[in-house]
Amino acid sequence: MTSTGERLALLGGSPAISWPLPHEVWPPRAERSELAELAAQRDDDISIKGSSGPVRALEDAFRAFLDHRIRWAVTFNSGTSALLAAYFALGVREGVEVVGPALTYHAALSPVHLLRGEVVLADIDVRTRGLDPESLEQAITERTKVITVVHQWGHPCDMDAILRIADKHGLRVLEDCSHAHGSRYKGRLCGTFGDAAVFSLQANKAVFAGEGGILVTNDDTVHDRATLLGHYRDRSRDEVLDAELRQYWVTGFGLKLRMSPFNAIVALHSLAAFPERKQARHNALGYFGERLAEVDYIEPVPVAEEVDMGAWYGYKPLFRPEAMPGVSRTVLIDALRAEGMEVGAPSGPRLSTLPLYTGAQSPLFPGTSKVANEPVPGSAAELVEQRALSLPTFTEWPTGKALIDQYIGAFEKVGRHRTALAEHAAADG
Ligand SMILES: Cc1ncc(COP(=O)(O)O)c(C=O)c1O
């Protein structure tokens, strides 16, 4: 007879994980020095119109963070705003196509619609979870101007191949590094390959402001146009280099998207703490991946030899349904959750399934048409969408090791009872 401890928790047994939820605790709490700076800023300057104080300090610190390879770093009030400015600065407008990955967070590409550009979706590579170079090349037309690479979950894309394609077709490259703070490809930091790069600094990110984003570029025109899009008056007057463009400084190009000094202070502190936190994630997720390799129905997250995962923004291994006949991902998640695990299906669907991306009519500009991006049946994007599991990005080390061991124990327990789970699923219909 099976003891209740050994029976699946979904079927009335005791959970394998005793650690109380939540298991992913982020962002970390502020230290006193950060709170003191926030308080002092309150009575000093609560709206920075140019680039001084903590906003300037953050931009300088970010350029240093990128190994001083970048000339310009411009803060914005979100990663999405910075992406809008980047697309505008790179010349996206009516009639221009942007090729990007079929499965990623929508904001990497959604601002293209507002500029009346067209998003063309290419497949991803299961290994990197970013753009598949072959599919990218097939998606290029004579109207393509920009390639958007997203270093998904912190794993750098195949940059050699992508840059070769961009060069061959004369295209600009925008790197969305919102998951990839500190990630390196062949030793070089993500964010230093493209014509421009954007990092979200939203609260979940490895370097966080609360809400915020930063655009980096070595291209003076991209800098000027992005600054004018989001920073009218003082900053445009003082920093736009081109005299022709600078004449628009009073109005800029109509938007004010600047970062608040409070967010800049939070970001400065999280940037300073980043190296230590990054190391903790490497230790924790490196160990988790090694242990998960023992679980036959899970494919741990692959990390290519030539890359450094930087912030390890997410841990999304794949379910191997062929190793668990009769069990769907939904049933597996139910069983693992019952064991006390914080697990789910990743929230972002393929972009081609979202209303903004479907249909022949533009919902933003009624009466005008847009390219409909149909999903490709059997794509890698579809496979990852259907099989990925979302697990905590364990950030505590070595204190978190015991929790990781409990997770492995829960995976193994569910594996031992796969037949009972399949029977339960069949009985449930
Ligand atoms: C890949 C990617 N791009 C862009 C964004 C948008 O950034 P923000 O939330 O700062 O606007 C996110 C946010 O999660 C993201 O994951």
What's the rounded Cα separation, in Å, for the pair 53 and 30? 20
247's CB contacts (< 8 A; 6+ apart) are none
Of 56-60, 368-372, 403-407, 415-419, the least confident = 368-372
CA–centroid distance, residue 318 to ligand 1 (Å): 23
Q: Count other Cβ atoms within 10 Å, centred on residue 90.
A: 27
pLDDT tens digits along 387-402: 999 999 998 899 899 9
pLDDT at residue 144 above 60?
Answer: yes
3-state secondary structure of 102: coil
Percent of the chain with pLDDT over 90: 91
Ligand 1 atom at minimal distance to the Cα of residue 150: 1
Of 153-162, 209-218, 253-262, 372-381, the least confident = 372-381
Nearest residue by C-alpha to atom 10 in ligand 1? 79
**What is the CB < 6 Å shell around ligand 1?**
78-80, 104-105, 107-108, 150, 176, 178-179, 200, 202, 213
Band of residue 196 on the pLDDT scale cut at 50, 70, 90: very high
The angle subtended at Cα 92 by Cα 90 and Cα 97, nearest 5°, is 120
Does the pTM of the predicted model rise above 0.95?
Answer: yes
CA–centroid distance, residue 177 to ligand 1 (Å): 9
| Residue showing tokens 């009346």 | 116
3-state secondary structure of 204: coil
| Choice from 83, 103, 176, 178 to test ligand 1 binding pocket (greatest atom count within 8 A of CB) | 178
pLDDT tens digits along 281-300: 999 999 999 999 999 999 99
Ligand 1 atom at minimal distance to the Cα of residue 200: 10
Contact between 317 and 391 under an 8 Å Cβ cutoff? The reply is yes
136's CB contacts (< 8 A; 6+ apart) are 99, 122, 147, 162, 165
Of 106-110, 123-127, 365-369, the least confident = 365-369
Of 263-272, 369-378, 405-414, the least confident = 369-378
pLDDT value of position 428: 84
pLDDT value of position 362: 87
Q: Region 266-274: what's the mean pLDDT?
A: 98
pLDDT at residue 156 above 80?
Answer: yes
pLDDT value of position 296: 98
pLDDT at residue 1 above 50?
Answer: no
The two three-digit tokens of residue 319, written as one number: 């379910």
Structure letter (DSSP) for residue 21: S
CA–centroid distance, residue 409 to ligand 1 (Å): 33
Contact between 161 and 133 under an 8 Å Cβ cutoff? The reply is yes
| Choice from 106, 174, 200 to test ligand 1 binding pocket (greatest atom count within 8 A of CB) | 200
CA–centroid distance, residue 198 to ligand 1 (Å): 9
CA–centroid distance, residue 141 to ligand 1 (Å): 27
Q: Count other Cβ atoms within 10 Å, centred on residue 170.
A: 8
CA–centroid distance, residue 176 to ligand 1 (Å): 8
Ligand 1 atom at minimal distance to the Cα of residue 107: 4
Over the range 111-146, which residues count as b (16 or more CB within 10 Å of their CB) and which as e?
A: bbbebbbbbbbbbbbeebbbbbbebbbebbeeebbb
Q: Region 10-26: what's the mean pLDDT?
A: 95
Over the range 43-54, which residues count as b (16 or more CB within 10 Å of their CB) and which as e?
A: eeeeebbbbeeb
Task: Answer positive or negative: Cα dihedral of 138, 149, 211, 389.
Answer: positive
pLDDT value of position 373: 72
Band of residue 134 on the pLDDT scale cut at 50, 70, 90: very high
CA–centroid distance, residue 247 to ligand 1 (Å): 32
CA–centroid distance, residue 296 to ligand 1 (Å): 33
pLDDT at residue 374 above 80?
Answer: no
Q: Region 409-421: what's the mean pLDDT?
A: 98
Ligand 1 atom at minimal distance to the Cα of residue 83: 4
Percent of the chain with pLDDT over 70: 98
Ligand 1 atom at minimal distance to the Cα of residue 313: 16
CA–centroid distance, residue 405 to ligand 1 (Å): 31
Nearest residue by C-alpha to atom 3 in ligand 1? 108
pLDDT value of position 168: 98
| Choice from 202, 263, 270, 312 to test ligand 1 binding pocket (greatest atom count within 8 A of CB) | 202
CATH of 32-269 given 3.30.460.80, 3.40.50.2300, 3.40.640.10, 3.40.50.720: 3.40.640.10
Band of residue 95 on the pLDDT scale cut at 50, 70, 90: very high
**pLDDT averaged over every residue in the chain:** 95
| Residue showing tokens 């496979």 | 383
231's CB contacts (< 8 A; 6+ apart) are 74, 252, 256, 257, 258
Q: Count other Cβ atoms within 10 Å, centred on residue 288.
A: 26
- Tell me which long-range contacts 331-338 makes (C-beta under 8 A, separation of at least 24): 331/421, 331/424, 331/425, 331/428, 332/297, 332/389, 332/414, 332/421, 333/389, 334/10, 335/8, 335/9, 335/10, 335/414, 335/421, 336/410, 336/411, 336/414, 338/8, 338/9, 338/10, 338/15
pLDDT at residue 372 above 80?
Answer: no
Q: Region 299-312: what's the mean pLDDT?
A: 94
Q: How many residues does the chain have?
A: 429
CA–centroid distance, residue 200 to ligand 1 (Å): 5
Ligand 1 atom at minimal distance to the Cα of residue 152: 1
